[in-house]
Every structure is written in structure tokens, then in C-alpha cells.
Amino acid sequence: MPQAEAAILAGAHVMVEKPLALDMESLKRVMKLAKEKNRMVSVALCNRYHKGLQHIKQVIESGKLGKIINIRGAMGEFFPESRPDYKQTYYVKYNGCFELIHAVDYTVWLAGGTPIEIYGICGSDADLGFESPDNAEVLFRTDNGVTCAVNLAFYQTPTRCELFVYGTQGSCELRYTHTEYT
């Protein structure tokens, strides 16, 4: 947050990596400063630009699926394999599987509305040594009536990213990695 504050004071807009802040006090301070200085602060949630997700967005906007009713997503990896040094990272203490928040972000984006009803369950149940959650289930409904469920997991093997979109006239499915999708 000190770097974000310095950038705002220098007149810049700011893009911050996850986690946005480690505590609410510093987040509130930066957001107040940004408002006072008329600067924008955003979080780097770039998965919306993945070609597979862009294609799903086009399919939804084309109307081929009818009215979108439900979206289900899952993003998971086996963290000890993808980050062997994971016990020395901030993930273990602070944000855990919420590092995979991209899946929640693009699900909201694809739903095309604002979440108005939100529920979540999370825990550190995979015995990986996390103080923060290693798994989470996020459920929400948007103001345009789309219900969504997103699973985030750091115990998942093999690595998987999946998305299912259900509409009144059809459905579509996306399975993807960083570089490929079906």
C-alpha cells in the first residue's frame, strides 16, 4: 500500500496485484486518498482476456443460449506441486485459495450483473499447512437473476479450470489452461 499511496500522490492511476491489501485499514486509507485525488485503483484481474473466456462472452452476448440462468466455475491446482516453496509465501498466511479469485471475477463478468446475494464456505481442510483457506465455495445471485457457484482449491490435482454456462435455450462448457481451451 505504501507504493500505491506514493503513486496516487504523484498523480497516477494504480493497478495493484492480489492481494489488494493485507489489512482493511491500509485499504481504506488508499481508497480515501484515491477518491480525494480523483485517481483510479484497480486489481489486476486479467483472466477476462483469456481467448476461451472471450469466446464464451461472445456466445452469451449472441443470445444463442437464451437467458442465462446459472454459471458454475472451478479453478484449482495442487499448490505443493505448482509452488514447491508455497509454505514460504504469503498465500499460506493471508489469502490462500482466494489467490484464485479470477474465477469469481470472470463469473461475475459473464453473468452481466452485480452480485446482490453472496454466500461462502471456506476452510483449511487439505492438511497442506495453510493458516488461510485452501478451499472455498462461493455462491451468489446477481441483480439480473443469474445464480453462480465457484469452487477455488489449492489441493486439486490435476490442475483444472472449468466453466459451465446454462441458459434457457442451451448451454456451453469451457475447460482451459493458460494457453489452451476447449
For 131-164, write each residue's pLDDT tens digit: 999 999 999 999 999 999 999 999 988 888 999 9
Calpha distance 22→174 (Å, rounded): 33
Q: Determine the pLDDT at residue 94.
A: 85
Label residue 117 exposed, middle or buried (CB < 10 Å: 0-12, 13-18, 19+): exposed
Calpha distance 155→47 (Å, rounded): 21
- CA-CA-CA-CA torsion sign (11, 109, 75, 51): negative
List of long-range contacts for 57-65, beta carbons under 8 Å, 24+ apart: 57/109, 57/110, 59/165, 59/172, 60/110, 60/112, 60/165, 60/167, 64/169, 64/170, 65/165, 65/166, 65/167, 65/168, 65/169, 65/170, 65/171, 65/172
Q: Collapsing DSSP states into helix, strand and coil, what is residue 65?
A: coil
Q: Is the pLDDT of residue 46 over 90?
A: no
Q: Determine the pLDDT at residue 129.
A: 93
Contact assessment for residue 78 and residue 100, using Cβ atoms and an 8 Å cutoff: no
For 7-19, write each residue's pLDDT tens digit: 999 999 999 987 7
Give the pLDDT mean for 50-72: 96
For 25-37, write each residue's pLDDT tens digit: 999 999 999 999 9
For 83-102, write each residue's pLDDT tens digit: 999 999 988 988 899 989 99
Q: What is the mean pLDDT of the chain?
A: 93
Q: Determine the pLDDT at residue 180.
A: 79
Q: Determine the pLDDT at residue 18.
A: 77
